[in-house]
Every structure is written in structure tokens, then in C-alpha cells.
Structure 1
Amino acid sequence: MQHKELKVKLKNSLLGLAIGLSAFSSQAAYVTYTGFDLGIGEGTPLATTPNSTGAETSFKNALIGVGTETFEGIATGTGGPLAVNFGAAGTATLSGGGGSVESVTPGFTNGFGRYSIPSASSSKFWEVAAGSSGDFSILFSETIAAFGFYGVDIGDFSGTLNLEIYNGASLLSSQLVSGTRVTGGSVLYFGIIASDVTEDFTEVRFRTTGGSGDVFAFDNFTIGNREQICRVNCGGEVPEPGSLALLGLGIAGLAAASRRRKAV
């Protein structure tokens, strides 16, 4: 009797585990990477950005190979729609917002807190006046699973930034990136990686509020597709297909053993 009860308990536990794993996978949330470095004023770029750079490093370490658009190869003053090139990772079209590619001398700001990242060696960035008329979107040439970027001088005049993640016409997620007034010249990094294929996306929309006349700078857009996500990064969040298969075999084996005992 005790042996039979143990088998039944083990069978129920395995069934519960399978159901739990399935539910966890279907409800998995995006993995986000954020870092923020407080500015020192509109006229001086930050010499180092340890927090935002650390977030970018963690984001990229979760991927195998990425493509990044730095805007360095695009003429100053170019507006949208803008072809964005991520190299082997694909292309995209940046549209809307009335923004344009702007340039400053490396090591300086434009006098209003905006500059390229890293400031000491690059000069160009994408700039928009915050507010509904400054909203813009990036439509990717193929479905992707990871997206990251730098934001500079965001929120010093109380403007806010939200990201909307779309797959086709379907809104998958809305992410608050920045919503607190900060010092001019501040730098943030924000990266997002889909936990499973149901969260893969084709478009990112930047939704902004203008505060009291905020203007935002963006730089170093990075993307990655599902094949570029490291298995070691995903292993702790969703079950590997092989693990689910083994679990299914174990449950099937218990059921078969139970049927044989009843036949005897």
C-alpha cells in the first residue's frame, strides 16, 4: 500500500510540475536591462557612464553577436523615414517624430545637454523634440527578439519616455523607460529581450511627453533575433524543450507501470 501511494504521489507531483512549467513559460515577461548615470549639466558630457554601460554590457552578454546602428555613417540633418542598418542582423525603417540625425564635436555637448555615446570618440545621434509630435517608430525588416539603446538628456525638463512593443498590429507590451526629472546631460541605457517566441516583435514605438519643452537624444540602437539569444541566459527562465520531453516520458512511464499493476 505504501509503495502504491508513493507512486501516486510521485505521479501527481510530476503532473503538477509539468503544468507549472507550462504556465510559467506562457506567462514569461520580457527581460529588461536598465542603467542610469546622472548628468553634471547641459554643457558638459559625462566622461564615463558606468551604470548605463554596465546595462549595455549585460544586455549584449545575453546575446551571441548583435547589430548596432551608431548613426556615424548618416549625414547630419537627415530626417525620417530613415533607413537603419544593423549589419548582418538586418535593417529597419525609422519613421515619424520630426527628428533628425545631429552632430557634435566629440567630447562636447550641443550646449543643451545632448551628445553622442561614447562622447570622447563619436559625434552623431538621433534627436527629437519630446511630445506626441515627436513620437517615432522603428519597423524591422524581420522579427526580432532583442532591442537596446542609449538615451541622453531625457527628462531634464520633465519629459517622459515609454516604449511600445508590437508584433504586427498587436501591442505586446508597454515599458516605462524614464519618468523622473533629472539633471541635464544624463545618460540611460535600456535593453529588452523576449523570454519566448510569443514575445518576439517587429516594431518598437517611442512614446514621449514633452514636459516643459524637453528634447531627447538617442544613440547606438542594437538588435538581435531569437537565434542570437544565449541558451545559458534562457535556461533559467523557461524549460528547455528536451527537459519537457524527458518529463513527458517520465509521466508516460509511470502511467504504463500503473496499467501493468492493474492488469496483474
Structure 2
Amino acid sequence: MKKKIIYGFGAALLMVGLTGNANATAVTFFGEDLTGVGGARTNSDAAATAFLSNLSGVGTQTFESFSTGTGVPLALTFAGAGTATLTGSGSVDDSTAAGRWATSGTNYWAAETGNFTISFSAAISAFGFYATDVGDFGGELSVTYAGGGSTTLNVGNTVGSGGSTSGSVLYFGFYEDDPLKAFTSISFINPSSVDQFGFDDMTIGTFEQVVPNDPVPEPSTVLLMGLGLAGLLGYNRKRFKKNS
């Protein structure tokens, strides 16, 4: 059974339009399991673990506090990280008949063929989620987030026609380590006119809650390291001439 997992710097970045460092890209995490409803989540769980290991004290929305059938606008609470409002297409569901299913508890957000948007009460810098039954009818999922501009990330799910992709599960997460790239909304884009997706365990984090495992050195640190290395090389060169 085909499985894949990808996570790294800018793995799914398509376009950058936010203010800040133009050379910086989102750090993305992706894992997918084509195992059917309720199947093994080896790759998706690994991606979720890797993503969450870069965050501290973040909040996750499981949709368990809502009654099935609840639609938009939906007021979301991410304990420890803030609140948000979900608008667009879809409703809270607990059925597995269509290949969509909950990755925790029994409830999830069932997205219809249209798009939906989550607007946050305060700017955030990290977002991750599980998605089920993506791509069995050719739908490709992308995420657009907005701050000073907009950035679109292609999730990169497997595209098929029923079969092995029905009931599949994936995890996608990303964070920005530049405070100027904090964002205020997320839009889920589904270009298919027939594909319907399920979403669960959405996690958000503020810039202060992003704690990278392997942070990139600050430019000043790199400069000091370079000056120190240059001084050491110069000292060794002078000593070599003196000995000669």
C-alpha cells in the first residue's frame, strides 16, 4: 500500500506575498497514509509529531464540543492560543459513510465542495490539521493564509479516483519563524466540484509559541562566527610566516 511522508523547509511553498524577509519560507510538515477509514496513521502521525515538537503550549480544536449538523459561522476556541471564526461551506459531522472520519473522538469538520475560511482573533504563526478522504475524486487541497499579503501552500495530497485514496488520512502543518509573517486567516481551497473532505484536530500557535527544534542562527550570530573564523585564519597565517 502506497505511503509517503515529507517534512522540511518550504516543501510545499508555491507563492510568497507576505511582508518580511523575501528569502524566508514557511517550514512545512506533511505525511499521508492511504489505508482507508480508521486505518493506520504511521506517516500522518509522524508528521504531526514532528510539527508539534516545534511548538509549545499551543491549542487544538477537536470539534467534540459541537453538535453534529452545526454549520457556519462556527466559533472556534483553541485553548491557550486564541479564538477564531469558521465561515464558508460545511458542517460538523460524525459519520464515516462517505470516507471522511474523525482522527480523535467522533466529530470532525465535513467540508463540502466549496471553500471555507478560518479568521483568527489575533495573528498566529503556526497551523496544522488532519484531513481525511482527500483526493479520491481528483481534488487537490491548498491552503492560503493572509497577513500583510497572501501565501498559498499546496498540500500535495495523492490524487486518484476512489479506490486506495478513499478514506485516506494526511497531516499538514507549517510555521513561520518571522514575526512579520504572522497571519490572521486561513482559507482551504478545493478546486474539485465533487470532492468533499474531512478535517480534524486543528492546531494553532502564536509566534511566541513557535520554538524550532533546530533554529536558524541569527544574521548577527553568523557574522560574528565569520569574523572569528577570519581572525583565526589570519593569526595562523602570520604564525606560519614567522616560523618560516
Of the three residues 115, 131, 156, the one matched with 2:101 is 115
Query: Is 1:209 the counterpart of 2:191 in the alignment?
Result: yes
**Structure 1 counterpart of 2:170:** 188
Q: Is the 8 A contact 2:58 2:205 kept in 1?
A: yes
**Cα distance in 2, alignment partners of residues 30 and 232 from structure 1:** 15
RMSD value, Cα: 2.2
Of the three residues 117, 125, 134, the one matched with 1:154 is 134
- Deviation of the 1:240 alpha carbon: 2.8
The one-letter amino acid paired with 1:28 is A
Of the three residues 106, 114, 125, the one matched with 1:145 is 125
Of the three residues 197, 201, 214, the one matched with 1:220 is 201
**Cα distance in 2, alignment partners of residues 243 and 26 from structure 1:** 20
**Cα distance in 2, alignment partners of residues 209 and 115 from structure 1:** 21
Instruction: Give the SS at the match of 2:50.
Output: helix
Instruction: Give the SS at the match of 1:160.
Output: coil
Q: Which of the pair has more CA radius of gyration?
A: 1
Identity of aligned residues (%): 43
Name the structure where helix makes up a greater proportion of residues: 1
- Deviation of the 1:195 alpha carbon: 3.0
**Cα distance in 2, alignment partners of residues 28 and 195 from structure 1:** 9
Paired positions, count: 205
Task: Give a deviation string over 1:144-184, Cα, whole Å, max 9, x none.
Answer: 1000001000111111211111016x21x111113622521
**Cα distance in 2, alignment partners of residues 167 and 79 from structure 1:** 26
- Deviation of the 1:210 alpha carbon: 2.1
The one-letter amino acid paired with 1:214 is D
Of the three residues 153, 156, 159, the one matched with 1:175 is 153
- Structure 1 residues 91, 209: closer, same or farther in 2, change over 3 A? same
Instruction: Give the SS at the match of 1:36.
Output: strand
Give the TM-score taking structure 1 as reference length. 0.72
Query: Is there any run of 5+ residues in structure 2 with no aligned partner, and where?
Result: 1-20, 229-244
